[in-house]
Structure 1
Amino acid sequence: MPVHLIIYSLLICVALAAPRYPPGTRTVAGCPPQGTPKFGHKWCLFDTHQAEVGSICWFSCREGFHLKGTAITECIIDPIRNAPRYNSTFGHCLPDAPMLRQGKNGPFLLHSYDPSSFVIHVDSSTEVTLKSYYYLAFYVQSPGLNGAKDTVSFGVQGYDSRYIKANDTDVYVEDMMFDDSSELDKATFRIRKGQFYEGYSTFESYAKKDHFIIHKSRKIQLSKIKSEEDRLLASFIWSPDL
């Protein structure tokens, strides 16, 4: 085959392989490279200097951490600005909850999945709320006070017999009567690790099946999980109280 035909064929192949841009955007530069999450990894389908439109990146975390947020991003054309941008911000890596040993663990802070800067808050009253600060931390008893498998109980720091309890849809703090089996059940929760989100757990009431600890309007209560929003509000993780 003549050389000019070979060159022509190669140019056609390159043109067919080129990324497809919306009309009028062929001269637009690509997206700048995204960073790598701290404690994480990144893999991208583009050269390190610039992401062409349509290029994709994947993000993950090192062992002992979990990804919160987007795991895949794509360089797209913003239809309003007619300029390249990523379709979302890549996620970040957060430490997994410490492993529970049998007996008393902690003290811990119980963080909500969203907002992650908020924790379950208790003070000297019986109220249990979600706030951006805390007064007392918790000890996690594993298994829970009634001894059932895969359960936990939450004891209040500074009190020998004060625990989070749940009755009907109410969640509150109260002293424990250890000779009352129904009270032990109220203070015991089935732990479901990673039920909805990696690294996060849900806590089902032992005394009220299919009802989980959840926060609504910053109040901690028991509720069934009926929506994606409920999955967010029912997911928690503990971290050491520093």
Structure 2
Amino acid sequence: MVEIKTESALEAMREAGRVVGRALAAVRAAAAVGVSLRELDEAARTVLAEAGARSPFLGYRPSFAPTPFPAVICTSVNDAVVHGIPTDYRLRDGDLVSIDCGAELDGWTGDAAISFTVGTARADDRDLVDATRKALDAGIAAARPGNRIGDISYAIGTVAEAARCGMPADFGGHGIGRRMHEDPHVPNRGRPGRGYPLRPGLALAIEPMLMAGGRDAYRVAADGWTLRTADGSRAAHIEHTVAITEEGPRILTLP
């Protein structure tokens, strides 16, 4: 069931979104050559704890997962697309890192992701992150009353195709509110004018995931969580929680 939020609910989601934004900023500031992925998870935990928020990631176990997720952020490095588990791996110069984070505060949830390079950035990684950001911007711009989910999907897919990037089939954005994953599903490819109609009060997590190799194929790593590109190419993932309003899209996960 799709829930349409009141203005007060969206404001409460904005507070949860601010926590997510601060957590991602703290992780980005902590990320440096030699820092472990577990240390990045600790940086995010500190922000959530100081805000009195809980993590919707920690202990989360969807139907495909063999075990509950053990951390408050997903840390996906280089060929990992999404859902990477923080480990003792220490960041190296040139690593491409995607961090996904959520927060639940006073019964409402925010969800966002960033991608960045540690140390010296490769030109093709900069292009990949830039294309992913442009895909997100295009999807957000289409998140207006009178449009449909397919318009968001089409906008994201058009940017990805122009950049000759693949995107993992079956994965995309989602409704969000009292729970991290709600209806409707927001595919990263679609046909304009199709799908659920966008109405004021609808909240969506919009999240393009681009793979530099140009293919949509992925594989699941041995941990049962991490999705990796099938061809070993790099991946990037950028996300915001967005509210549909009469005035246009409102991003709820800025710090």
The reply to whether TM is greater than 0.5 is: no
Higher Cα radius of gyration: 1
- Higher relative CO (Cα under 8 Å, sequence separation at least 6) belongs to 2
Structure that is richer in strand per residue:
1
Structure that is richer in helix per residue:
2
Query: How high is the TM-score relative to the length of structure 1?
Result: 0.29
